[in-house]
Structure 1
Amino acid sequence: MLSTTRSTLRNTDVLVVGGGLAGLSTAVFLAQQGVDCLLIERRTELSGHPRSRGVHPRAMELMRSAGVEDELRSMPSARLLADNSGVIAAQSLAGPELGVLDEKYVMDVTADVGPLSPTGWCLCHQGELEDVLRGRAERLGVALRFSTELLSFEQDGPAGEEVTAHVRDGVTGTERTLKARYLVAADGAHSGIRQALGVPFAGEVLGHYANVHFAADLTEQLAGRRFLLCYTFNEQVRGALMPLDNASDWLLHVAYDPAETDLESFTEERCAELVRAATGVAGLSPRIRSVSPWEGAARTAARFRDGRVFLVGDAAHVMPPSGGFGSSTGIQDAHNLAWKLSAVLDGWAGETLLDSYDEERRPICEATVEQAALRSGDRPRLLDEPGERPPVHPGIVEDALVWLSWRYRSSAVASWDEGVLPGYGVWSAENDGRPGSRAPHLRLRKGGAELSALDLFGTRPVLLTGPDNRAWREAARALSHELGVPLALYGVGAELTDVDDRWPELYGVTAQGAVLVRPDGVVAWRCAEAPVFARNTLRAVLTRLFGRDGAGRDGER
């Protein structure tokens, strides 16, 4: 029996609870900003279970900024699945095909997104993705503590300026107290932190599923096909087969009713029967590697911030896998939050900047959850004959809009004087540098190297200008010193060459204009022409958007 002792563990700026995809992403992005953070995870190790598979273009842009894009693409699943595409329905893998997902809203993973992004889809499965992020976090100096469970926490201090967490080492039983400035809840769909805060998690359950990870050589039944997913419909099983290596490594999603079927009933023998039914190979002897339950739900937390506690990933939202949005949405949560915590901790932004995390991410996540749910409801149409299929739900927007064309509306972006197009809600069909949107991909050349404008963003705000930028350059230099904001300035047409001559078109400015881009690559503000008093204009923008109104250099109000 473990003995229980108590001690003080350490102090840290940010405590991240949860060592899954969202938690590891948060730790990596914080460490890149130079933030001292500690990550705790109650499991002894990462699960390694493949679960979701695929990182969409926007999330891959963030992996690129984290320095792991090439490593991800070199992972076994990413290399072996690089040419896979398409979703089909069939009686079984060996049986006749029943339909193909070919709706206009679908942008295939092999589609060329070069005009929109410097990178594209990566079909690396989640187990390998988490391994890569863990390695990156360790190289950046993040303290990772596995076998460490959060027991309870309080927001305390004389003015509620810290979080006290009580944790237990699962190996020794030692209980420790930890002080942190902020706490990030990345503890999954059943988040104990979210429940302790009393944050409602509204939505609906769409179904319950078991993920069966198995090994069996199905090369003959594949018959050269390289699909992403094969829905299987027959009397024995309704599920979905996902190849992990286009040969012998597979996932089978199986629906079940927990009121009638206990998860323990998914024995190796039962799973083997389901695999034989889904593959259509009666004599198959698959090796069952693992079984993992999951709930197909569409839920969003009522708030993503509670004082000094922030929800990210599945703790903040869950969605069905249709569309492949879930894991990538969690990565974007982490990226949005990390630079804001860093800015406040470093003193160049005020505490009110942190309110914009909820203001920005929650509406986008709610809309993304809705898109995933609508796509899930659209999948049964695969079984209908093309000429007999009912129309696509009018609320479904194109994949590329969900990936790349959201717009934030918050205190950390300029007013929406150029609002989104009617009918699109948080999505905008225009990718032209409007405030609140992701800065457009622009091919640039610096010296002899070609890069994307997105490669300029990451650890500090950037002021992009045209070649005629003397007033902006002087203003940026003076205000960076005066306000303590680590503002960088790049002149497109000066030290940067616009390869395709698209700077004015994509960013909506003239040769005298300027665009302020946040560290997360989101346009905060733009000015088409240089004003008479550039310094005053820029000072007002920086103080307002970064929560510095009436603040001193330390950012405290």
Structure 2
Amino acid sequence: MVLSTTRSTLRNTDVLVVGGGIAGLSVAVFLAQQGVDCLLVERRAELSGHPRARGVHPRAMELMRAAGVEAELRGTPSARLLADNSGVIAATSLAGPELGVLDEKYVMDVGADIGLLSPTGWCLCHQGELEDVLRGRAERLGVALRFGTELVSFDQHGAGVTALLRDRATGADRTIEARYLVAADGAHSGIRDTLGIAFDGETLGHYLNIHFDADLTEPLAGRRFLMCYTAGEGVRGALVPLDNATEWLLHVAYDPETTELGSFTEERCAELVRAAAGVPELRPRIRSVSPWDGAARTAGRFRDGRVFLVGDAAHVMPPSGGFGSSTGIQDAHNLAWKLAAVVAGWAGEALLDSYDEERRPICRATVEQAALRSKDRPRLTGGTGGIGGSGGTGERPPVHPGIVEDAQVWLSWRYRSSAVTAWDEGVLPGYGVWSAENDGRPGGRAPHLRLRRGGAELSVLDLFGDRPVLLTGPDNRAWQEAARAVAHELDLPLTVHGIGAELIDVDDRWPELYGVTAQGAVLVRPDGVVAWRCADAPIFARDTLRAVLVRLLAR
């Protein structure tokens, strides 16, 4: 519906997304896939294309698979060129002697075989290319994207959010009415500040990204690493390959209290590159220099009425571990199905409370894991390595006991909220949200199970997306009848899949992974999270299933 106003055209939309980075574009894609009308605004005229972050971890790649862009991401230039890179090393310089390798137990290499855990794995594309792919997918799905448009102000009211937007090129204003507002406007979120939401945590350091071109194939000597910390004379930093040959990033620590940003001239940056490379005669071409903070912060709440925080607006973390952008993608996926369900009318408004209940504890714990990994990096050289190494030599001190293994951070978190059933502990003592394994308990990600339908192989994760799914064993007639009756009575989409019936369990792992018998059932949410499970068939399957869905969907 289009109405005339004195200021501008009033456009109604279900969801207004503010911010066109990874998290905002992910929200738009996931919403559009489920038929939700969405408008995304971004104050920049175009995406930056800068390779700030690099790498999408396995759980986020599962979600990119669900978004239909996995193959496209793996086909990006950086992903193809870096597909065989792995490992983190430390050296006096790229040309100098190596000082250490990050080989701790908690690290799972990006090249590790995780076929029993996930249908996909790491993708080492950089942030600029990831944003381009997401933007293209959003456009193909019909999302209205408005770059060069900023949010001037917004006001919440009973029926939704009224937002004033401004075209930065023309200065023209217009008003938008949306049912919900998603704040994906970054670490310095104006929406978060307007709402008075605290952003607590610590700053671990201040850094520069120096993006440069130089042929480093000779000092590289055929090595294919993810990162090389440099700890020699002239620079303490980290070299990051973007094509294993001539395009690189150099992360350098600096103190803004004693060093002005403007002092990093092109010549000084070139000197730092020469020192990190260990090639005195090198003549690098400096593409860009951009500052960033190594901060670890989490917002005090992720929901304020009809406004939701995602991505860097909700949390920021140092890059150690590669959790940052992938965590924002998970925020987007968790929120999108809940908004879609409420907009479509098959879930109650109270379901949206579970976004904060679920994501904030997980994000806070992930921020802590990233910070612990960042503080652990100087151990690579007995105290001298890593960005901002503290100096000194000697044997490595022990790993911090609070560091959780990579695969558990990616895949074995547990939600505790009103949108999952009775939550037993089942988590690592003292760690709060991380399970010892991904074992099919409510609140956790549905474990990967290889299936075959006809002649095609798929993952059980491919069955989830826009509706709840009831997974059963081969003896599922009672569950089929119960699901059909309850879906009709509650007017909601619900699909039943029989493992061992129409779907062949390739490795015969269904009962073991999900903790049920041949007569049992597992209810999985659209985001692939186990909401409820029943080890065996109850006498009153219909009444049981109805009561569970009414509670979980806030009906």
Q: How high is the TM-score relative to the length of structure 2?
A: 0.96
Contact 1:99 1:382 in 2 (8 A): yes
| Aligned residue identity for 2:42 | E
Distance 1:416 1:134 in 2: 37
Distance 1:114 1:38 in 2: 37
In structure 2, which of residues 326, 333, 341 is the aligned counterpart of residue 335 of structure 1? 333
In structure 2, which of residues 251, 270, 273 is the aligned counterpart of residue 272 of structure 1? 270
Deviation at 1:6, TM superposition (A): 3.2
Deviation at 1:270, TM superposition (A): 1.7
Deviation at 1:494, TM superposition (A): 0.9
Deviation at 1:97, TM superposition (A): 1.0
Distance 2:394 2:286 in 1: 40
The answer to whether structure 1 residue 396 and structure 2 residue 403 are counterparts is yes
Partner of 2:237: 239
Deviation at 1:9, TM superposition (A): 4.4
Select between 124-133 and 417-426 the one with higher mean Cα deviation: 417-426
The answer to whether structure 1 residue 524 and structure 2 residue 525 are counterparts is no
Query: Which runs of 4 or more aligned residues in structure 1 lie more than 3 Å from their structure 2 counterparts after TM superposition?
Result: none
Q: How high is the TM-score relative to the length of structure 1?
A: 0.96
Residues 406-555 of structure 1 correspond to what in structure 2 (within 5 A)?
Answer: 406-417=413-424, 419-548=426-555
Select between 258-267 and 328-337 the one with higher mean Cα deviation: 258-267
Secondary structure of 2:328 counterpart: helix
Deviation at 1:290, TM superposition (A): 1.2
The answer to whether structure 1 residue 108 and structure 2 residue 104 are counterparts is no
Distance 2:89 2:292 in 1: 22
| Aligned residue identity for 1:88 | I
Deviation at 1:201, TM superposition (A): 0.3
Partner of 2:284: 286
Aligned residues: 541
Secondary structure of 1:388 counterpart: coil
Residues 124-203 of structure 1 correspond to what in structure 2 (within 5 A)?
Answer: 124-156=125-157, 160-203=158-201
Deviations 1:45-87 (A, max 9, x none): 0010001101000000000000000000010100010010110
Q: Please, which runs of 5 or more residues in structure 2 have no aligned partner?
A: 1-5, 384-392
Secondary structure of 2:124 counterpart: strand
Contact 2:408 2:437 in 1 (8 A): no
Deviation at 1:8, TM superposition (A): 2.2
Select between 413-422 and 272-281 the one with higher mean Cα deviation: 413-422
Deviations 1:324-358 (A, max 9, x none): 00010000000000000000000000000000000
Contact 1:161 1:181 in 2 (8 A): yes
Distance 1:484 1:270 in 2: 66
Deviation at 1:277, TM superposition (A): 1.1
Residues 30-69 of structure 1 correspond to what in structure 2 (within 5 A)?
Answer: 30-69=31-70
Distance 1:428 1:541 in 2: 24
Secondary structure of 2:512 counterpart: helix
| Aligned residue identity for 1:27 | A
Counterparts in 2 of 1:527 and 1:387: CA distance versus 1, 3 Å: farther
| Aligned residue identity for 2:546 | R
Deviation at 1:514, TM superposition (A): 0.4
Partner of 2:319: 321
Seq. identity, %: 84
Distance 1:114 1:364 in 2: 24
Residues 344-355 of structure 1 correspond to what in structure 2 (within 5 A)?
Answer: 344-355=342-353
In structure 2, which of residues 301, 305, 312 is the aligned counterpart of residue 307 of structure 1? 305
Q: Please, which runs of 5 or more residues in structure 1 have no aligned partner?
A: 549-557
Secondary structure of 2:8 counterpart: strand
Distance 1:170 1:403 in 2: 39
Distance 1:397 1:367 in 2: 10
Q: CA RMSD in A?
A: 1.2
Distance 1:15 1:401 in 2: 33
Deviation at 1:98, TM superposition (A): 1.1
Deviation at 1:234, TM superposition (A): 2.4
